[in-house]
Chain A
Amino acid sequence: MEFSLNPTQMMIQQMARKFALNEVKPTAADTDETAVFPWENVKKMQRYGLMGMNMPVEVGGAGTDDISYVIAVEELSKVCATTGVILSAHNSLFCDPLLKFGTPEQQEHYLRPAASGKKLGAFALTEPNAGTDAASQVTRAVKVEKGYRLNGTKIFITNAGEADYYVIFAMTDASKGTRGISAFILEKGWEGFTFGRVEEKMGIHGSSTRELVFRDVFVPQENLLGQEGEGFKIAMVTLDGGRIGIAAQAVGIAQGALDETIAYIKQREQFKRPISQFQAVQFMIADMQTQTSAARLLTYQAADAKTRGLPYSDLAAMAKLFASETAGFVTNKAVQLHGGYGYTREYPVERMMRDAKITEIYEGTSEVQRMVISSHAIG
């Protein structure tokens, strides 16, 4: 068992850290304040091969392993959770299902531009009345000549409106429940495919979270992803991978808050000494550090299993559950240790605490992760 990064992973960490500090950190507060999608960051990430990094070179990616990808999401999320999730949604939720289930033609047409950083991707499963209960979805795809006609809406879609390509789930046979769901690849700009309400969120303000609206959208037969009725399986497999990305985002948020806090307690003086000299403060730091390190190890383990082709569904769920709850715990303590200043927008821990919450909710709530984990444990 090897517990250190290999030279490639170390260099990617070095690059991602420097990139995040110099390019992303300076605009993170502004991105939160203005809630504008950080296209400048995304373009730079495309230029440097981060978008699609863990896709094979043959389909246009950089060909990294999943630990390297996790490291990149982590480093970005340490300074800006919004930028971290844009990378995670693109790589895990769009590129990954195309790599696993796409035909060679679909991979050439949609995956190559996405993996090589020319186009941005998104994934749309959730509906107002179909979150975890995917079988309740009402978006319908009716078979017509040479393809399908889609009607319905999706909500809470990350990268919506900004992305060029979308993996969309719709019912092709409602009588079959989850076995009646199919997956499709849609392009922004197609007739009848529009973007609705922009959500006003607690955190990750710069991440685009919007409604997708389909009114008689014609989808050609060749844009069916996988087989008809295979959509639920595609969604579940994709989310297993996506959870590793969100776990990495959560580890990054926690580490970012911890770094800010350690710097703060060393310079903040009360009773004529830095508050880092008080044991009550030291013990809080010890718990924050321990949980963050444990969350990182679980996340790396899940990523490693994915790269090796081993089962990782339960590992990804454990990583996401533990890392997201750690991000919640650590950012809460970070605000506490900053005292009154921590509650103001003058310090980034306030934003980090708001950003952390979503990691316990999207791509399966903590409760869903517990269902996945217990079903693997108990059988």
Chain B
Amino acid sequence: MKIIVCVKQVPDTKEIRIDPEKGTMIRKGVPSIINPDDRHALEYALSLKDQDSNTEVVVLSMGPKQAKNALIECLCMGADQAILLSDSAFSGADTWATANTLAAAVRKLMPFDLILCGQQAIDGDTAQVGPQLAERLAIPQVTYTRAIQLEDHAIVVERQMEDGYEVVKAALPALITATRKLNTPRYMNIRDIVKIHQMDDPVQIWDLNYLKLDPDQTGLKGSPTRVKRSFSPTPSSEVTFLTGSTEEMVSSLLDALKNLNLIGK
């Protein structure tokens, strides 16, 4: 079985800072990590490899050269092969152009059985790249996966909904996007860390020429959407934290609500 896992390197921060003039995210001084949902996608692939050593796990990412570090981490967790799609022509891509570029790479990796993506990335939060990639490749897709069962040439997936879950069966090859409920991702293994760092080039770099992509279909040029403006919303109201014992806090809360005429005196 051949599984392709798409991962994204994202900034590790809960307080993303925006450059007020350029309207872009400030990446300097912010450590980069593998997008959390993507770890769950990778874990599922690796768990299948644990069960059957003939399973091949390929991790795929598009990004700047430093995204190699995220892929090296995937290799140290047990992935077999890592490919980084990196070219100045790819930069500034929106989700459509990103899916185009990933699809071109996946076609080079054919045949495959399964593509796994994280549900969404913590920086853009669009949840679009996985579905768009499936559409580009014209394969079935199941999003928001919380459990998977593998059958012959098919998968049965539990799909997380707001008020329950859906069971969906899809023929392989298919694309799945993983939620955090799917599993608990493993750590890197010390043996793999040593082994991978002894290799000269553990991560293959594929560029525009290699993918034979039209430059108008990728990067900023190939992106039909534009970011108009990024900003941090300014708080519109003040928050007061009540302290003290439960009785004291309840009493303060009642007083405050009365003063605001929200409840009767």
A residues within 8 Å of B by Cβ? 7-8, 11-12, 14-15, 18-19, 48-50, 53, 57, 62-64, 68, 72
Q: Is B136 an interface residue (CB 8 A)?
A: no
Q: Which residues of chain A come closer than 8 Å to B72, judged between CB atoms?
A: 11
Q: Which residue, B72, B76, B189, B194, has most C-beta atoms of chain A within 10 A? A: B194
Q: Contact at B197–A49, with CB atoms within 8 Å?
A: no
Q: Contact at B187–A12, with CB atoms within 8 Å?
A: no
Q: Is B191 an interface residue (CB 8 A)?
A: yes
20 residue pairs of the A-B complex, CB under 8 angstroms, read A7-B197, A8-B194, A11-B73, A11-B76, A11-B188, A11-B197, A12-B193, A14-B188, A15-B76, A18-B187, A19-B187, A48-B188, A48-B190, A57-B194, A62-B190, A63-B191, A64-B190, A64-B193, A64-B194, A68-B190
Q: Contact at B197–A8, with CB atoms within 8 Å?
A: yes
Q: Contact at B73–A49, with CB atoms within 8 Å?
A: no
> Could you tell me the distance between the alpha carbons of A57 and B192 in the complex, rounded to whole angstroms?
11
B residues within 8 Å of A by Cβ? 72-73, 76, 187-194, 197
Q: Which residues of chain A come closer than 8 Å to B191, judged between CB atoms?
A: 49, 57, 62-63
Q: Contact at B197–A53, with CB atoms within 8 Å?
A: no
Interface of A is mostly: helix
Q: Which residues of chain B come closer than 8 Å to A64, judged between CB atoms?
A: 190, 193-194
- Shortest A62–chain B CB gap in Å is 4
- Shortest A162–chain B CB gap in Å is 21
Q: Contact at B187–A63, with CB atoms within 8 Å?
A: no
Q: Which residues of chain A come closer than 8 Å to B190, judged between CB atoms?
A: 12, 15, 48-50, 53, 62, 64, 68, 72
Q: Contact at A8–B187, with CB atoms within 8 Å?
A: no
- Shortest B185–chain A CB gap in Å is 10
Q: Which residues of chain B come closer than 8 Å to A7, judged between CB atoms?
A: 197
Q: Which residues of chain A come closer than 8 Å to B192, judged between CB atoms?
A: 49
> Could you tell me the distance between the alpha carbons of A50 and B192 in the complex, rounded to whole angstroms?
11
- Shortest A239–chain B CB gap in Å is 25
> Could you tell me the distance between the alpha carbons of A48 and B186 in the complex, rounded to whole angstroms?
9
- Shortest A216–chain B CB gap in Å is 41
Q: Contact at A48–B187, with CB atoms within 8 Å?
A: yes
By Cβ-Cβ distance, the 9 closest A-B pairs, closest first, are: A49-B190, A8-B197, A49-B191, A62-B190, A62-B191, A15-B188, A63-B194, A53-B190, A11-B193
Q: Which residue, B187, B188, B190, has most C-beta atoms of chain A within 10 A? A: B190
Q: Which residues of chain A come closer than 8 Å to B197, judged between CB atoms?
A: 7-8, 11
> Could you tell me the distance between the alpha carbons of A15 and B196 in the complex, rounded to whole angstroms?
14
Q: Which residues of chain A come closer than 8 Å to B187, judged between CB atoms?
A: 15, 18-19, 48
Q: Which residues of chain B come closer than 8 Å to A14, judged between CB atoms?
A: 188
- Shortest B178–chain A CB gap in Å is 19
Q: Contact at B188–A62, with CB atoms within 8 Å?
A: no
Q: Which residues of chain B come closer than 8 Å to A53, judged between CB atoms?
A: 190
> Could you tell me the distance between the alpha carbons of A177 and B189 in the complex, rounded to whole angstroms?
45
Q: Which residues of chain B come closer than 8 Å to A18, judged between CB atoms?
A: 187
Q: Which residues of chain B come closer than 8 Å to A48, judged between CB atoms?
A: 187-190
> Could you tell me the distance between the alpha carbons of A180 and B43 in the complex, rounded to whole angstroms?
55
Q: Which residues of chain A come closer than 8 Å to B194, judged between CB atoms?
A: 8, 57, 62-64
Q: Which residues of chain B come closer than 8 Å to A15, judged between CB atoms?
A: 76, 187-188, 190, 193
Q: Which residues of chain B come closer than 8 Å to A19, judged between CB atoms?
A: 187
Q: Which residues of chain A come closer than 8 Å to B193, judged between CB atoms?
A: 8, 11-12, 15, 62, 64
Q: Which residues of chain A come closer than 8 Å to B73, judged between CB atoms?
A: 11
- Shortest A154–chain B CB gap in Å is 31
> Could you tell me the distance between the alpha carbons of A6 and B263 in the complex, rounded to whole angstroms?
64
> Could you tell me the distance between the alpha carbons of A86 and B188 in the complex, rounded to whole angstroms?
21
Q: Which residues of chain A come closer than 8 Å to B188, judged between CB atoms?
A: 11, 14-15, 48
Having A8-B194, A64-B193, one finds 10 other A-B pairs with CB under 8 Å, namely A7-B197, A8-B193, A11-B76, A14-B188, A15-B76, A15-B193, A48-B189, A49-B190, A53-B190, A62-B194
> Could you tell me the distance between the alpha carbons of A64 and B72 in the complex, rounded to whole angstroms?
17
Residue of B nearest to A7 (CB): B197
> Could you tell me the distance between the alpha carbons of A12 and B192 in the complex, rounded to whole angstroms?
10
Q: Which residues of chain B come closer than 8 Å to A62, judged between CB atoms?
A: 190-191, 193-194
> Could you tell me the distance between the alpha carbons of A7 and B197 in the complex, rounded to whole angstroms?
8
- Shortest A291–chain B CB gap in Å is 27
Q: Which residue, A7, A18, A48, A53, has most C-beta atoms of chain B within 10 A? A: A48
Residue of B nearest to A51 (CB): B190
Q: Which residues of chain B come closer than 8 Å to A50, judged between CB atoms?
A: 190
